[in-house]
């Protein structure tokens, strides 16, 4: 997808949402990465963000960007099956905390991405939606369990997507699909999900490292009730470290 999310955020938010349907549909029948779409809400939210922008209000780091959310994560008003027939018609009343943080940062929760049942598996297949296939060769696996997000990113269906990881569920599909996936240390991204524990974490997935960092910044809002105290990382400290690293990198590029 041309243009980094930072570029999209600086342009008209509504453009991102309007442009998304064609990209969502492109190749999805063949690969089955996107399983649920909420275009109407995304359009309304984009229009509201655009009005806020015109008024000079703070619009958040993800303002106007379509986001794919792994179908393991609760999304208010949008079907969340966890890849299980037990929850094939389940529509949560509220977002889980990391999803709420993404919304609060201006992200447009546009689509849910496929997952194996309850996120348990190294391949992305379930009895609700079927298998998700590798974007480069549909005869091969995309890995799992965040395979739907990885494939959607590889095809440019969404610019950013969420994943969850216990033993490789972000990193494996990212590697199989040629995208970026980052597994934060436990406690870095806040969670109030009943399925979260000491080792299962939520993390960003994207097509570039810079884009993944942008989504992580939105995830990091320190509002959660379930942190690992010894590993809690404040947003301010993280962003200072990120800025310092970026400045050092730029200095090296200049030969400093």
Which sequence positions are flagged as catalytic? 70, 145, 169
228 burial level (CB within 10 Å; 0-12, 13-18, 19+): middle
How many Cβ atoms sit within 10 Å of the Cβ of residue 82? 22
* 3 state SS of 245: helix
Q: Are 150 and 176 in contact (CB under 8 A)?
A: yes
Query: Which residues face 70 on adjacent strands?
Result: 113
User: How far from 145 is each of 83, 180, 205, 224, 225, CA to CA, in Å?
Assistant: 10, 15, 13, 24, 25
User: How far from 239 is each of 153, 216, 233, CA to CA, in Å?
Assistant: 25, 10, 10
**Concatenated DSSP letters of 132-175:** -B-SS-TTSB--SSSHHHHHHHHTTS-SEEEEEESSSTTHHHHH
* 3 state SS of 238: helix
Q: Are 49 and 15 in contact (CB under 8 A)?
A: no
Q: What is the DSSP letter of 208?
A: S
* 3 state SS of 200: coil
């Amino acid at each position: 997808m041309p243009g980094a999310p930072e570029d999209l955020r600086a342009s008209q938010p509504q453009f991102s949402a309007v442009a998304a349907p064609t990209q969502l549909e492109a190749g999805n029948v063949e690969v089955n990465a996107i399983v649920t779409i909420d275009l109407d809400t995304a359009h309304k939210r984009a229009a509201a963000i655009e009005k806020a922008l015109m008024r000079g209000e703070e619009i958040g780091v993800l303002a106007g960007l379509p986001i794919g959310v792994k179908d393991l994560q609760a999304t208010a008003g949008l079907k969340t099956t966890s890849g299980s027939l037990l929850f094939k018609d389940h529509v949560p009343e509220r977002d889980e905390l990391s999803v709420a943080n993404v919304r609060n940062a201006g992200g447009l929760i546009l689509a849910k991405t496929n997952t194996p049942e309850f996120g348990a598996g190294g391949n992305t297949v379930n009895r609700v939606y079927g298998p998700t296939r590798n974007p480069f060769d549909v005869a091969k696996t995309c890995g799992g369990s965040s395979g739907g997000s990885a494939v959607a990113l590889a095809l440019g269906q969404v610019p950013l997507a969420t994943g969850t990881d216990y033993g490789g569920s972000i990193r494996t599909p990212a590697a199989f699909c040629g995208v970026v996936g980052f597994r934060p240390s436990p406690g870095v991204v806040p969670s109030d999900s009943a399925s979260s524990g000491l080792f299962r974490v939520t993390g960003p997935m994207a097509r570039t490292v810079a884009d993944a960092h942008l989504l992580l910044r939105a995830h990091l809002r320190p509002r959660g009730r379930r942190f690992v105290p010894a590993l809690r990382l404040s947003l301010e400290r993280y962003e200072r470290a990120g800025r310092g690293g970026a400045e050092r990198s730029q200095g090296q590029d200049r030969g400093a």
